[in-house]
Amino acid sequence: DAMVIQNPRYQVTQFGKPVTLSCSQTLNHNVMYWYQQKSSQAPKLLFHYYDKDFNNEADTPDNFQSRRPNTSFCFLDIRSPGLGDAAMYLCATSRGNQAGTSTDTQYFGPGTRLTVL
């Protein structure tokens, strides 16, 4: 029944060592989002895809990249993780209404908790 799947659930990496987080969905949704959530804070949008169109938030560091090779999968690459990148990373999807309204519900994965040593 899992609709948005994130792997791994927990990731430990070393300072400066590249890491990739993955997200897959079984909903066939057009829009996929990556959020960073630090302790006791709201999720912060890093970027999103509408289909293959990539949209980067203005304040997302260059250290963060993303790939969406097909509808079902989306990856978050952190090229050189710093201590400040330790956080929960949430993937979400939404249908992406062609009429352009935003009544769509976002469906979230369980998150990947990243620890940087």
Q: Is 70 in the site for other proteins (CB under 8 A)?
A: no
Stretch that binds other proteins, among 13-21, 40-48, 65-73, 79-87 (CB under 8 A): 40-48
User: Least distance in Å: CB of 72 to other proteins?
Assistant: 18
Judge contact between 3 and 27, C-beta under 8 A: yes
Residue 63 is encoded by which pair of tokens? 């250290």
Cβ-based nearer residue to other proteins, 79 or 113: 113
Stretch that binds other proteins, among 14-22, 35-43, 60-68, 75-83 (CB under 8 A): 35-43
Binding stretches for other proteins (CB under 8 A) = 4, 6, 31, 40-43, 45, 48, 50, 88, 90, 92, 94, 96, 100-111, 113
